[in-house]
Structure 1
């Protein structure tokens, strides 16, 4: 892990997509379709982009979750919690999204020398570390195996996971994507995903590995740092990381290229969910 944001020195300006027009936010699949459109835009226009979004309470399934042998029963249980569900268009496993979880993507064009997967994750780790450098607690990056959607670059404070990171590459663009549990009931979030696997597996062995979710290994940013935060607070800290590095942040627009890609992405998400969910 490097201790600098040196990778930003070649990027003078980022376009920011935060409070987007309703036509890009009203559909429950909208954030995923827009993310893909922005990755494509970054690759084609050679333009770095920051994308922030939150959702109403949802269970966001990974494609592997649709392999659960008792998926129908598991989804009925999720519905009993009052949580809608959907399948995202990328790998990994189930996560919970709600108003207390910030989703943030660092999107940029592929470089001449292809960025390795780990280098991409390290960039996001460094941005989040820098955003909270005024706290004494370290934000570590390693797998928390009994968390939901565990991965090599889970972000944690004193052994408790606060965030997970994923990547997606399309049309010469790359997105490093993080969900950050800022505030809210992380115990409940974890229990919902734990129940997903309990009811979806019923003890049956499969060729796919699903985590044994233990709610006590996950927490929120505000609990881990013993300070109240809102999602807006965290967005401002992340943006300040860029402006303090002399990066210009400008509001992103929605040219026809993004509009077209968004509609195509939305249609793909609709078809994917119709195909994969009972």
Structure 2
């Protein structure tokens, strides 16, 4: 498995790095993985971008010190504080019509295993009115700590996840007015975190643990963005 570490210079270059990860996995048949800390940003989904209050939501993000961006994977707005982790697992596939739910299940199992190794007893389930609502999430005592989304291309699937390591209050405080502007139900108390559930607040430790859980017993080749062509973007 190819493992890519590090963060590109800008959110745009970061997206390019993940897109290249997915494209190369489809071309070579080798799975690839990124677990990293995105730039401080609010990542809006496609449904957000068509909402009447989208311009207001973007302004609120900037007022709180977050760069508003749009993403192609996932649903509603997600806040990356600098300690929040993103996971991108590119998996070669042979048939776009098969394997969707199996990939979701595998991702939740492996993320749950990683969190368990960190002392966090997370279970599948979506708290009511949580951020980026979906059907594939992990929670602890009614608070969401991770959510999984998926994008499928002709020869590869990107299984993506967000994992809140720390800073749950800051996330709740910025998403509350943003979801209000987007007219999306949201309960700030449903925002959880690894640290808040008794795990470590160190995102690098959490990232490496997630890497290990997803890679399993497969041999890995580690590359760094600072050593790739993305360093000059």
- TM-score normalised by the chain length of structure 2: 0.88
Which of 148, 157, 169 aligns to 1:187? It is: 169
1:222 corresponds to 2:222: no
Preserved CA contact (<8 Å) 1:39 1:171: no
What is the CA distance between 1:230 and its match in structure 2? 0.8
Alignment of 1:162-241 (within 5 A): 162-184=145-167, 186-201=168-183, 210=184, 212-224=185-197, 226-241=198-213
> How many angstroms apart in 1 are the aligned matches of 2:214 and 2:58?
40
Which of 52, 57, 62 aligns to 2:40? It is: 57
Preserved CA contact (<8 Å) 1:65 1:93: yes
> How many angstroms apart in 2 are the aligned matches of 1:123 and 1:115?
14
Closer/same/farther in 2, CA of residues 99 and 113 from structure 1, 3 Å limit: closer
Alignment of 1:126-141 (within 5 A): 126-134=109-117, 138-141=121-124
Closer/same/farther in 2, CA of residues 31 and 171 from structure 1, 3 Å limit: farther
What is the CA distance between 1:190 and its match in structure 2? 1.9
What secondary structure sits across from 1:248 in the alignment?
coil
> How many angstroms apart in 1 are the aligned matches of 2:97 and 2:223?
26
Preserved CA contact (<8 Å) 1:47 1:109: yes
Structure 2: any 5+ residue segments left out of the alignment? none
Closer/same/farther in 2, CA of residues 171 and 35 from structure 1, 3 Å limit: farther
What is the CA distance between 1:98 and its match in structure 2? 2.3
Preserved CA contact (<8 Å) 1:144 1:151: no
What secondary structure sits across from 1:161 in the alignment?
strand
Identify the residue that residue 108 of structure 2 maps to in structure 1: 125
Closer/same/farther in 2, CA of residues 239 and 200 from structure 1, 3 Å limit: closer
Instruction: Give per-residue Cα distances to partners, 1:65-94, cap 9 Å, x unaligned.
Output: 012213223322222212210111234110
Instruction: Give per-residue Cα distances to partners, 1:80-117, cap 9 Å, x unaligned.
Output: 21221011123411000122111112211004685432
> How many angstroms apart in 2 are the aligned matches of 1:27 and 1:65?
22
